[in-house]
Structure 1
Amino acid sequence: MTVKDNNQERDAVFKGLVAVQQPSDLDMVAARTDAYFNRTQHIVQHYGDKEVVYAVFLRRPVLSAPRLALQWLDRLFEQENINATYYVAFPEGEWVGAGQPILYLKGSFEQLAVLETILLQKLGSCCVAACNAFQMVQTLPETDFIAMGARHCAGYEMQEMVEYAAWVGTQAAQKKSGSKGFIGTASANTAKLFGLESGFGTMPHALVGYAGSTVRAAEMFHEQFPDQTLGVLVDFFGKEVTDGISVCQRFPELAAQGKIMLRLDTHGGRFLEGLNRQTSYSLIMRHAPETLQRYCSEKELTHLTGTGVSAAAIWWMRERLNEAGFGKVKLIASSGFDVTKCRMIAEAKAPVDCIGTGSFIPNLWNETYATADIIAYNGQSLVKKGREFLVNFARQYVSGIE
């Protein structure tokens, strides 16, 4: 079985991605693969080919996100006349256990030997990032997410892969529980994965510094982009509450229409304006006391009551805006929102409307390593010691294995 998408327009977008298109010829593949696969191909060419079956898996639980890898294989099979087929054991968006093969690849050993390196590159990081994205949006089902990980990526191909993964995690969460999930990305190219023509975002700190004040930056933004929601970064001068309310007072009609979004991005070196450790504790005890009445790690406590964009900071900002009569103004939070932080924000019931994050990208890169083992040669099962379980999995998907 192969991955299909009902939306033909989006499917065309996927096929146009760099991650699918490159590298797409065997000379380039050979140059980028591990040398021992090239030597293996040379040996097989000399001593005779065999039909083989590969099982491809990860060592940790993930969400299946094989589309880019499969489209790359499709492109290569067609262009280079490779006689091979693949079988997807866990279609896109399905949960995969540790060690369970996501897909099987069957064909000529001579032709397939050199594909393994790049195939694994295109699979592992996508699956882990999709899993992280899924877990994040599941914990905050009523919150919008924006994928803002481009600057954390090692090049554009990686950006495409992880932002595709955010889309997969969102699709899975929407199917399971109706979560809003990721609604777009920060750049125009990958925004197309979400059916959009442009990226989302507020403004950078650099614009606030250039303008000289938060209110002036908001004025400039609105003058140039009057039809867009006015998204304002409010932490530059360390006066999130004061500057946030000043922006709302400057644009009362937009505030009343819910067309202002204030972004909290306070760094971890200080508390949001008006807060300290004690007042932060008091806020959480008032709104979600159960979160402090169980054991919390130091990291979890920081997410609740510490410096930066904590659950307490979100509650504090919401209360101050409501008191000033700006209850329809939305809050977007950013700065280190990973699976753990999203869970703590959810437990504290913090009223955040949107989260901008790149932390669905795996923190531990070694968790993204996909592995491929050959499990059969000319129909006879044979696999390295300790991986016999792969053969048992395979028999329900691949015929002709004895």
Structure 2
Amino acid sequence: MAHPANTVAKPAVQKAVQPWPPENQVALWTDKYFTRTQQVVQRFGDAEVTYAVFMRRPVLAATRMACDWLQTMVQERGQTVSIEQVFQEGDWVGAGEPMVYITGSFVTLVDLETLLLQKLGAACVAAYNAHAMCEQLPQVAFLAMDARHCAGTEMAELMAYAASVGSKAAQRSSGAKGFVGNATDATAHFFGASSGKGTMPHALIGYAGSTLRAAQMFHETFPDQDLIVLVDYFGRELTDALEVCHAFPELAAKGRLGMRLDTHGGRYIEGLDTQSSYDILERNAPKAIRGYRTETELRHLIGTGVSAAAVWHMREALDRAGFPNVKIIASSGFSASKCKVMADARAPIDVIGTGSYLPSNWGETYATADIVAYDGQPRVKVGREFLLKRNEDDIL
């Protein structure tokens, strides 16, 4: 198969992400009843209002991006706003607890609610998800690979931000390694990096015609990068992994070579079946299979795809062949529950790539904002009295 000469295009200069939507397009994207309310209040007289923002499920506070956007919009309107963030970034927030109190002109704020909540709810749930994963496997590094699961670039930015919030919370609470990077350059700054992380998709393996050739092409193009190789394309995970190790013994010895397991759930990795999966866990983590397990947990342990047994199978093969420093990167369906099973099995994973789990639980991402005071007088709809401030020293 003939291929064009190796060329690497220079990356485009990264531009700062602009607030979206800009102030002059807010009305186009907000709920109509808010813009009509704005017109009514403009006609009959403005009022100072205080909003309480909350969610209906436990989350981690990830409010900065939403509040920064709100502050920018208000400033562009030549107004001021008081934003009280009740929780620090990464704090656990109970269901129904106000996270933010916002006080300012009703005319100025009313049409910003729709967009503010869009930027807050999903981020708080994703931060919770990221934190849950990191807590289950504190010794494992994580990569946020969710960009292609997002509904556009704005959501991708929110998810990267949220992953960094959840990761930092886990680092504080349990000393977890947490998220060490993500897949795109635009959001790498959330993880203290200048660029995204990643080596090769399955498409490069198909283009190269073999796993080894893809590894050679990548290393020739990026000789200073660590070499992480996908090994499931041809269904020869162990065979191809060892072939690559023998081709790059120096990288393997220095710990600069890694094998990424991404086997889909329709088959076992090379050399495994149900019985041999049990045998591998019996050798390496017998307690993991001797307790009660749900069907899902059992599948994560000894089932098809990237199971705990599959990870141990790869680790045993690498060690037997004299490559103990070669890393294992696992992806494919990793959630907090799968991470818990991997922890129970002491699966020897160095890095986990997670994609769809960060923006999961979409039905639970809805944030709500209620006005709880008008011109300093407490007033909220019946049933939402829990949003009122209780400290007599507060403005209410």
- Bucket of the pairwise TM-score, normalised by the shorter protein: over 0.9
Match of 1:215 among 197, 212, 220: 212
Q: Hey, what does 1:164 align to over in structure 2?
A: 161
Q: Distance in 2 between matches of 1:168 and 1:278?
A: 41
Query: Which secondary structure state, in structure 2, belongs to the residue aligned with residue 196 of structure 1?
Result: coil
Determine whether 1:400 maps to 2:395.
yes
**Paired position in structure 2 for 1:5:** none
Q: Does 1:302 align with 2:299?
A: yes
Corresponding position of 2:379: 382
Q: Tell me if 1:237 matches 2:234.
A: yes
Q: Which residue of 1 aligns with 2:123?
A: 126
Kindly state the Cα deviation for residue 67 of structure 1 after the two structures are TM-superposed: 1.1
1:159: Cα distance to partner? 0.4
By how many angstroms is 1:212 displaced? 1.1
Partner of 1:17: 17
One of 197, 203, 226 as aligned partner of 1:200: 197
State the partner residue of 2:340.
343
Distance in 2, matches of 1:79 and 1:109, equals 16
**Residues 347-358 of structure 1: matches in 2 within 5 Å?**
347-358=344-355
CA distance, structure 2, for counterparts of residue 160 and residue 53 of structure 1: 28
Q: Deviations over 1:286-326 (max 9, x none)?
A: 32233323322211111111100011100000001000000
| Cα displacement (A) at 1:397 | 9.4
Letter in 2 for 1:359: S
Is the contact between residue 333 and residue 357 of structure 2 (CA under 8 Å) also seen in structure 1?
Answer: no
In structure 1, the residue matched to 2:253 is: 256
- The partner residue of 1:41 within 38, 41, 50 is 38
Q: TM-score, normalised by structure 1?
A: 0.92
Q: How many Å apart are 1:64 and its aligned residue?
A: 0.4
- Give the distance between the partners of 1:315 and 1:75, measured in 2 at CA: 51
- 1:247, distance to aligned residue in structure 2 (A): 0.4
Counterparts of 1:47-66 in structure 2 under 5 Å? 47-66=44-63
Query: How many Å separate the matches in 2 of 1:159 and 1:397?
Result: 41
SS at match of 2:180: strand
CA deviation vs aligned residue, 1:35-60 (integer Å, no higher than 9, x gap)? 00111111111222221111001111
Cα offset, 1:282, TM superposition? 2.1
- Partner letter of residue 150 of structure 2? C
The alignment partner of 1:238 has SS state of coil
- Paired positions, count: 382
Report the more deviating stretch, 296-305 or 116-125.
296-305
Q: Deviations over 1:118-151 (max 9, x none)?
A: 0000100110000100110111111111110010
Partner residue in 1 for 2:6:
none
* Contact 2:144 2:354 (8 Å CA) reproduced: yes
Q: Is the contact between residue 143 and residue 351 of structure 2 (CA under 8 Å) also seen in structure 1?
A: yes
> Residue 359 of structure 2 corresponds to which residue in structure 1?
362
8 Å CA contact 2:57, 2:94 repeated in 1: yes
Q: Does structure 1 residue 136 correspond to structure 2 residue 133?
A: yes
Aligned AA (1:24): P
Amino acid at match of 1:203: M
Match of 1:271 in 2: 268
Residues 316-358 of structure 1: CA deviation (Å, up to 9, x unaligned): 0000100000000000001111111111111110000001111
2:97 maps to 100
1:372-391 deviation digits (Å, cap 9, x = unpaired): 11111122211111111111
Q: Judging changes above 3 Å, is the alpha-carbon distance between structure 1 residues 397 and 258 closer, same or farther for their aligned structure 2 residues?
A: farther
CA distance in 1 between partners of 2:112 and 2:255 (Å): 51
Partner Cα separation in structure 2 for residue 378 and residue 23 of structure 1: 29
| Residue 318 of structure 2 is aligned to residue 321 of structure 1 | yes
Instruction: Give deviations 1:143-194, integer Å, cap 9, x for gaps.
Output: 1111100100111110000001111111111111111111111111111222
2: distance between equivalents of 1:99 and 1:150? 30
**Contact residue 17 and residue 160 of structure 1 kept, 8 A:** no
**What's the secondary structure of 2:311's corresponding residue?**
helix
Q: Return the TM-score normalized by structure 2.
A: 0.94
Kept after mapping to 2: 8 A contact 1:184/1:199: yes
**Equivalent pairs: percent with the same residue?**
58
Q: String of CA shifts for 1:3-40, please: whole Å, max 9, x gaps.
A: xxxxxxxxxxxx9434xx11231x41111100001111
In structure 2, give the amino acid aligned to 1:120: L
Residues 57 and 103 in structure 1, CA contact (< 8 A), matched pair in contact too: yes
Stretches of structure 1 lacking an aligned partner (at least 5 in a row) = 1-14
Query: 2:329·2:351 contact (CA, 8 Å) conserved in 1?
Result: yes
Matches of 2:347 and 2:222, distance apart in 1: 30
User: 309-318 vs 278-287, which deviates more?
Assistant: 278-287
Structure that is richer in helix per residue: 1
Distance apart, 1:398 and its partner CA: 7.8
CA distance in 2, matches of 1:242, 1:83: 64
Aligned residues: CA RMSD: 1.5
The question of whether the paired residues in 2 share the 8 Å contact of 1:87 and 1:397 is answered with no
The one-letter code sitting in structure 1 at the alignment partner of 2:99 is: I
Q: Is the 8 A contact 2:159 2:359 kept in 1?
A: no
Secondary structure at the residue paired with 1:188? coil
Q: Distance in 2 between matches of 1:296 and 1:232?
A: 32
Cα separation, 1, equivalents of 2:210 and 2:192:
35
Task: Name whichever of 41-50 and 65-74 sits farther off.
Answer: 41-50
Aligned equivalents of 1:283, 1:207: Cα separation in 2: 31
